[in-house]
Each structure stands twice: as structure tokens, then as C-alpha cells.
Amino acid sequence: MENFKVLTMAEMMANGEKPEVLFWVGCAGSFDDRAKKVTKAIAKILHATGVKFAVLGTEESCSGDPAKRAGNEFLFQMQAMNNIMILNGYEVTKIVTGCPHCFNTLKNEYPSLGGNYEVLHHSQLLQQLIDTGKLKVAGGTFKGKKIVFHDPCYLGRANNEYEAPRSVIQKLDIYLTEMKRSKANGLCCGAGGAQMFKEPENGVKDINVERAEEALQTDPDVIAVGCPFCNTMMTDGVKNFNKEDKVQVKDIAELIAEAIDIK
Amino acid sequence: MISSILFTILLVIGVILFTKKIREVIRNIQLGRKLDLSDRSSERWATMARVALGQSKMGSRPVAAFFHVLIYVGFIIINIEVIEIIIDGVFGTHRVLSFMGGLYDVLIGSFEFLAIGVLAACFVFLSRRNIIKLRRFHMREMTKWPKSDANIILFTEILLMSAFLIMNACDYQLQMMGAEHYSRATGIVGAFPVSSMLLPMISGMSVDSLIILERSCWWFHIIGILAFLNYVPYSKHFHILLAFPNTYYSKLTPKGEFTNMESVTNEVKLMMDPTAAVPAVDPNAAPQRFGAKDVKDLTWKQLMDSYSCTECGRCTSSCPANLTGKLLSPRKIMMDTRDRLEEVGKNIDQHGADHDDGKSLLGNYITEEELWACTTCNACTEACPVNIDPLSIIVEMRRYLVMEQSSAPTELNGMFTKIENNGAPWQFSPADRMNWANED
């Protein structure tokens, strides 16, 4: 990063320090060019708000989510137990993730395998930072824009979190609108359950096209997302309608970081 | 006297047949794998009260919810009337509960309003299915029987309610005519706000014909109810009973939390540390397969789910895969599970417990293409008004395909290999994980 160095757990431990929170970056956040921008936005916000954080860096490995949803329980548990060994080794207690799939897996499926942590999705941490006054957001570059939020399945239905992302982006003085299917009735982007990694089965339409169409019907300036997979799917969906010049697809962390120009 | 004996015999036969079928259903459900759901009982009672009794999940579709509540309340309250019918039938009394006086009038009067409400709802539901032809009632899995099943139930309810109202109208007329056995010195017994409107149709009839009509309706009503009782366990209408236990045993953990397979945990622990202490395996126990190929590989709760399904299709109409034309339909998963379970049950009855008919749920009923279309988004479990979980069955079958058959789509096998080799579902070196922090 330009203005600060992101520390790994190993580096912090070597300095005899402990972070307040571990930032679990996730595979998409580490390797996907689009998702990397979201990762950087989250890191910038954490740094700017004085949250002492660290990442696992090269010690991080896939949470096992796509393997588990695809039915490969062996691979999932191998991944989970290796990750738990590392997390417990560093005595991690609090984790924030930029991916609802990692969030769900770490929060719900790691405990019975020996991994017990307080796990937050980045929208929840952002809300906490706003609530405690550490993150001050009022208006900014998106002020007055029309934004529609697409609920990630693994944040919304899977874990009942519909309000945190909405309340965070509402701080930008934007006009928040809803799709016909939203919150508990939200339509999947099409990537969950390991669909991200395969071609869809035969049908009449791609799911992301259906969902992007619904989002575009609200005539938004920005489609806000909270998941790297949704980000990819919605971006492709918008392109399918040749609307990429008019409608942006952005993660809520990017919206916050850009709106108030956090560096 | 003869009618009392005849009635008692019919009642006993009706109840015996019903009990026999229920025992068969319980036996079938118990073919499933063990699962301990004896925890969190206060939460479970609360869920049942909210979701089954209070129908909290119906409201997302207000038209259906309104008319469904009419039928539901009508069904429950009119059953109080059935108690009286049974006592009258066994002992040859007439309107035995009328000693309640004013309260009785209120009860009978409200039954009449409910009966007309149920009639209206049945007509609305019939038209939604057969005239408006709502899409979710005409999908691929809605073959001949599921369609007729729904219509049979609605027609039966219309006949039962009509018989009930005609019976009351005749009774009222007979009371006013001072007919023996019907009229009382104390005046009119019961209140007939709805059926009194039928009086012009029967005003010219003699006491004898009125009695014949009243008795026919009475017999039709009670025989109809006994027949209906025995029809229910064969029908999608079974939900009227199973909604209660099924919501009691709802999944209480977050929807996104999938079960961690204990058998796998033990093996993984041994792989990571050969000295790990894992529970000893009973050498005599038959090895359990990973995941589910047939109904016996599912848990008893998943099997109960299948009997609780009323095939309303809310799951399927909210399923992203189905909405975009894929083969997957969560409702079909539930219907297939029930059909196969009934088949396995019949096999046991006819050929004994160890009979193998060479068929299985996966393959003969559900195809791999359906299973791989699922995005595990939980729209189906959210939509189900009785908390059925089709997703868990889909995942259990994927587990079988992957861990027993190595039969995942090629791209997914590739994804598995990448996670195994480089700790990410894409082909990147783990050494590059921190690159984002050093790029602009």
C-alpha cells in the first residue's frame, strides 16, 4: 500500500504485538484483480480508522467453502483444520472478511472443528466503526446518487444480515433503492454453491443476467455489492446489457473509501 | 339404534385404517439415518407456534395467505362440530352440545360463516389451479396425480361444506315445523345465519323428506370426513398434520451452516495426526456411505420433510436455477424423495426388509444435472411455509457423487485439485497471496 505497510500475523508476532482483528482476505480478494481493489479499500479503511489489523498472508488458504458446497467434505475439512491450526496458533479471536462465503464458513462451520472466533463481514465492521465514531462518513462523492444493494445469499439469508450494508451506504447521503426481490427474497447472483467455478447447466438464461436486469430496472447509478463473486456476476450482467458506462458495480467498502477519499 | 351401531362400526373402521397408515408412515420415516433433535425445545415450540400455528411464512403471498387462513381456521373450528357429530352418531342423540345455550348458538353460527368462507376459498383455489393456471401449479413435476390430488381435496371440501349447510337448513326448517326429535320446547336450538338463506329452496318439502335430506347430509358429512381422514396420508394434504412436527424439528442453526460430517472429521484427524484419539469404529457395523444415494441415506428429518410437502411450489418459483430454465426444482426433489420412500416402504411390506429393487433416489428419480444446478442460495428454504429443507438433500447427494463416485463436473474436479495444490480455487501460487498489498 502507498501510505502504510500491511503486516502479517507472523510479522506482528515477531514484533511482540497482537492485532485487534485479523483481516481474512480470501482467495478472490487475494488473486482476482477486481476483488483486490476491494481488499485494498478495506485495508485502507482499517488503517485510516486506527484499527490494528494483520493478515495471514501466504499462510492463508481457501476456507473450503466451494469444496463443501460442491460436496467435497474431505477437502473442506482438510482446509478447515489446517486453517484452524494456524488461526489458533496465532491465538486469533476476532476476524473480519471481505467475502460472505469465507464469513459464513469461518463463523458457522469452523466452531465444531475447533475454531471459535468472533467473525464479522466487512459491512458489519464498517457499521461498528461508524457507530463508535471511528469512521466518520457524511456524504461525499456519491451524494445524491441512486444506489441499489444486491444482497449476498451468504450474508443475507444464510446469516440474517440485511441491515449492516444498507445502513453503511446510507451514510453517504445517497438515495437507496430496492429491487423487487430483496433482503430475504433476494435473488442469488448465480455464483454460490461452487457455480462460480463451472459453466451453468442448460437453461434459457444465465442467473446473473436475470439479476442484473432486475437491478437495472431500478435505474441506479451504482449497484452495490458485498461479495467478490456477486461483484463479478453483476459486472458481467451489466455488461450483457451494455450499461457498463452508465452503471457502476461497486463493493460497499469501495464506496466508503472512495466517497471520503481514504488513502 | 341400527344407525348408532352402523355409525360406530364405520367410525372404528375409519380410525383403524388411519392408524395403520400412520404407523406405516412412521416406519418409513424411521428408515432414515439417526439424528438427535431433542435440543432447544423451547425454541422449537416457539418455532412451531409461529410457523405452523401462526402461519407466519404464508404472508409473503397475501392472496393465497388470506384464503388459506380461511380454510385453516374453518378446518380447525369445524372439527369442534365433528365432536358433536360423533357423539350424536354413537348415542343417537341430536345436537347433544346444545345444553351450552347461547354459546352453542354462537358456535353454530360462526361455523356457518366459516363454512361459507371455506367454500369461497376452495373456489378461489380451484380457479387459480384450473382457470388462471398459475405457473407454479403447472411445472414439469406437476404431473397428472399431483394436479388431481389438489382438485380432489378442493372438491371434497366443497361437498363437505355444502352438506353441512344443507343439513343445518333442513334442521332449522324441521325445528320450525315442530318435527319430533328436532324441535325443543325451549325454542330454536343453534343459529343459522347462512343456511337460513337456503330455506326458500326447501320450504315446500314435507317433514319426512326433510328428515331424509337432513340425515343424508349428516351421513355424507361424517362419512366424507372419515374418508378424507384416510385420504390425507396418501396425499399432499398430509401437511395439515405434519406441518406441526415438521416445524418443531426445524433447522435452528443459521441457514448457511451445513453439517460437518463426523465420519470425515475422524478420518481427517487421523490423516493429520495418526496418533489422534478418535472414537473407535464398531467392526460389526455396516459401513455407512458418504452422502446420500437413496432415501435410507437421508436423515429421518429429511424424510419427514418429504411427507410434509404440500407441493405449493413456492420453493421452485423462487429458485434462481429454476427461474432461468434449469432442470432443478426443489419441489421435485421433495416429491421424488416421498415417492421413492413410499416405493421402498411397499418393497419392505411385500418382499421383506432386505429387498433390493435395484433402484435408487439418485439416478431413478433425481438426475445429476438437477443437483449441479443448485447455487445453495437458500431461497427454497426461506420460501417454504413449513420449513422444509430441500437444499440439505441436494448437498447430501452431491457428497455421494463426489466422495463415493468421483463424479463431479470436470471444472469442479479442477477446482478441487487447485485447492489441494495451491490453497485456492484458481491457479495461483500461494506465494502471491500478498501481492495486492504491494500493487497500486
What is the CB neighbour count within 10 angstroms for residue B160? 23
Same domain, B363 and B281: yes
A118 and A138 co-located in one domain: no
Neighbours of B237 (CB within 10 A): 19
- CATH code, domain with A31: 3.40.50.1860
Asked if residue B375 and residue B234 are part of one domain, the reply reads no
Q: What residues make up the domain containing B175? A: 2-30+61-248
Are residues B432 and A185, on separate chains, in Cβ contact within 8 Å? no
State the best of A8, A47, A62, A116 to mutate against chain B, taking most chain B CBs within 10 Å.
A62
User: Nearest Cβ partner of A58 from B321, B400, B430?
Assistant: B430
Question: Which of B268, B324, B411 is facing A74, going by the closest CB pair?
Answer: B268
Strand partners, A148: A177, A223
Cell output for A178: 430496492
Best of B319, B324, B362, B366 to substitute, by most chain A Cβ atoms within 10 angstroms, is B324
Distance CA B268, CA B260 (A): 12
Q: What is the CATH number of the domain that holds A163?
A: 3.40.50
User: Does the distance separating the beta carbons of B436 and A57 come in below 8 Å?
Assistant: no
Quote helix, strand, coil % in chain B, to nearest 5. Answer: 70, 0, 30
Helix, strand, coil % over all residues of chain A, rounded to 5: 45, 10, 45
CATH value at residue B398: 1.10.1060
Give the number of other Cβ atoms within 10 Å of residue B200's Cβ: 9
In this structure, the answer to whether residues A140 and A250 fall within a common structural domain is yes
Asked whether the beta carbons of residue B419 and residue A153 sit closer than 8 angstroms, the reply is no
Q: Are residues A51 and A85 in the same domain?
A: yes
- Residue of chain A with shortest Cα separation from B381: A157
pLDDT of residue A261: 82
Q: Indicate whether A144 and A125 sit together in one domain.
A: no
So what's the pLDDT on residue A172? 94
Report if residue A245 sits inside a domain: yes
Query: Contacts of residue A195 in chain B, CB cutoff 8 Å?
Result: 375
CB contact under 8 A, A6 and B437: yes
B149, B267: one domain: no
Same domain, B282 and B183: no
Number of domains into which chain B is organized:
2
Q: Quick check: helix, strand or coil at residue B313?
A: coil
- Any domain includes B238: yes
Q: Which of B256, B261, B328 sits opposite A159 (nearest CB)?
A: B256
ipTM surpassing 0.85, yes or no? yes
Show residues of chain A in contact with B406, CB under 8 Å. none
Q: What angle do CA B356, B358, B362 make, to 5 degrees?
A: 115
Please check whether residues B207 and B288 belong to one and the same domain. no
Q: Which residues of chain B have pLDDT under 70?
A: 281
Last residue of a domain, one of A100, A129, A158: A129
Residue to mutate among B57, B263, B278, B376, with most A CBs inside 10 A, is B376
Contacts of B389 (CB under 8 A, 6+ apart): B251, B302, B305, B381
Task: Write the DSSP string, B172-209.
Answer: HHHHHHT-TTT--TT---S--TTGGGGHHHHTT--HHH
Q: Which helix H or strand E contains A118, and what residues bound it? A: strand A118-121
Structure confidence at residue B99 (pLDDT): 87
Instruction: Classify residue B230: in a domain, yes or no.
Output: yes
Residue with cell 334442521: B171
Beta-bridged to residue B33, according to DSSP, are B299
The dihedral through the CA atoms of A184, A190, A191, A193 has a sign that is: positive
CB within 8 Å of B139: residues ≥ 6 apart = B313, B316, B322, B329, B331
B421 located within any domain: no
Give the strand order in the sheet containing A53-54. A53-54, A21-24, A94-97, A118-121
Q: Mean pLDDT throughout A36-46?
A: 97
Q: Do A29 and A118 belong together in one domain?
A: yes
Flag whether residue B59 sits within 8 Å of chain A, measured between CB atoms.
Answer: no
B361 assigned to some structural domain: yes
CB contact residues (below 8 A), chain A span 111-140, against chain B = 112-113
Q: What is the pLDDT of residue B288?
A: 83
* Structural domain count of chain A: 2
> Where is the domain boundary, A112, A129, A146?
A129
Are the C-beta atoms of residues B375 and A188 closer than 8 Å to each other? yes
Across the interface, do A197 and B271 touch by the CB < 8 Å criterion? no
Residue after which a domain boundary falls, among B205, B225, B248: B248
Q: Does A68 touch chain B (CB under 8 A)?
A: yes
Q: What are phi and psi of A56, to 5 degrees?
A: -85, -20
Test A194 with B415 for CB contact under 8 angstroms: yes
**Chain B: nearest CA to A221, how far in angstroms?**
25
Is residue B426 included in any domain, yes or no?
Answer: no
The pLDDT assigned to B82 comes to: 85
Same domain, residue pair A172 and A71: no
Q: Where does a domain end: B193, B215, B248?
A: B248
Confidence of residue A2 (pLDDT cuts 50, 70, 90): confident
| Residue A93 touches partner B, C-beta closer than 8 Å | no
Cβ-defined contact of B320 to A206 (cutoff 8 Å): no
In chain A, residues 144-183 whose CB comes closer than 8 Å to chain B: 153-154, 157-160
Do B366 and B404 belong together in one domain? Answer: yes
- Count the Cβ atoms, other than its own, within 10 Å of residue B47: 19
**Residue B417 forms part of a structural domain:** no
User: By C-alpha distance, which of A231, A233, A221, A220 is closest to A253?
Assistant: A231
**Partner-chain contact A203 B326, CB within 8 Å:** yes
- Tell me the C-alpha distance between A64 and A105, whole Å: 8
Between chains, do A157 and B253 touch, taking CB under 8 Å as contact?
no
The residue in chain A having the minimum alpha-carbon distance to the alpha carbon of residue B380 is A185
Contacts of B113 by beta carbon, 8 Å cutoff, 6+ apart: B193, B194
Instruction: Decide: A202 and B326 in contact? Cβ < 8 Å.
Output: yes
Q: What is the mean pLDDT of residues A147-171?
A: 97
The predicted pLDDT at position B81 comes to 82
- Which residues of chain B neighbour A60 with C-beta distances below 8 Å? 423, 433
Residue B22 sits at the chain A interface (C-beta within 8 Å): no
Average pLDDT over residues A133-146: 92
pLDDT in tens, A21-33: 999 999 999 999 9
Same domain, B160 and B269: no
B265 → chain A, closest CA residue: A77
Q: Are residues A53 and A87 in the same domain?
A: yes
Of B226, B248, B270, the residue at which a domain comes to its end is B248
Residues B311 and B207 in one domain: no
CB pair distance less than 8 Å for A203 and B321:
yes
pLDDT of residue A156: 98
For the segment A206-233, the average pLDDT, to the nearest whole number, is: 98
User: Which has the closest alpha carbon to B107: B86, B71, B80?
Assistant: B80
Same domain for B395 and B350, yes or no, is yes
Residues B169 and B212 in one domain: yes
**Based on the domain organization, do A153 and A90 belong to the same domain?**
no
Distance of CA B335 to the CA centre of its chain: 11
- DSSP symbol at B73: H
Interchain CB contact of B62 with A (< 8 Å): no
Distance CA B90, CA B336 (A): 42
B40 and B252 Cβ atoms separated by less than 8 Å: yes
Distance from the Cα of B49 to chain A's closest Cα (Å) equals: 21
The mean pLDDT value for A74-96 works out to: 97
Domain annotation covers residue A1: no
Domain edge (last residue) among A109, A129, A149: A129
Looking at the domain assignment, is residue A2 inside a domain?
no
Q: How far apart are CA A32 and CA B436, in angstroms?
A: 9
How close, in Å, is residue B292 to chain A by CA atoms? 11
Distance from CA of A48 to the nearest CA of B (A): 15
Q: Domain for residue B221, yes or no?
A: yes
Q: Identify the sign of the CA torsion A83, A87, A90, A96.
A: positive
pLDDT value for A41:
97
**Do A72 and A40 share a domain, yes or no?**
yes
The reply to whether B189 and B316 lie within a common domain is no
**Same-domain status, A125 and A141:** no
Instruction: Specify if A33 maps to a domain.
Output: yes
Paired with A97 in beta bridges are A24, A121
From the list B227, B268, B218, the residue with the least C-alpha distance to B94 is: B218
Q: Are residues A175 and A104 in the same domain?
A: no
Query: Which residues lie across from A24 on neighbouring strands?
Result: A97
Q: Are residues A86 and A124 in the same domain?
A: yes
pLDDT the model gives residue B186? 78
Q: Note whether residue B36 is domain-resident.
A: no
Residue (of B169, B215, B163, B165) closest to B3 by Cα position:
B215
Chain B window 265-304: which residues touch A at a Cβ cutoff of 8 Å? 265, 267-269, 271-272, 290-291
- A176-216 pLDDT per residue, tens: 999 999 999 999 999 999 999 999 999 999 999 999 999 99
Whether the CB-CB separation of B417 and A20 falls below 8 Å is answered with no
Question: Which residues constitute the domain of residue A123?
Answer: 9-129
Residues B198 and B278 in one domain: no
B327 touches chain A (CB under 8 A): yes
Angle at B60 (CA atoms; ends B54, B62), nearest 5 degrees: 85
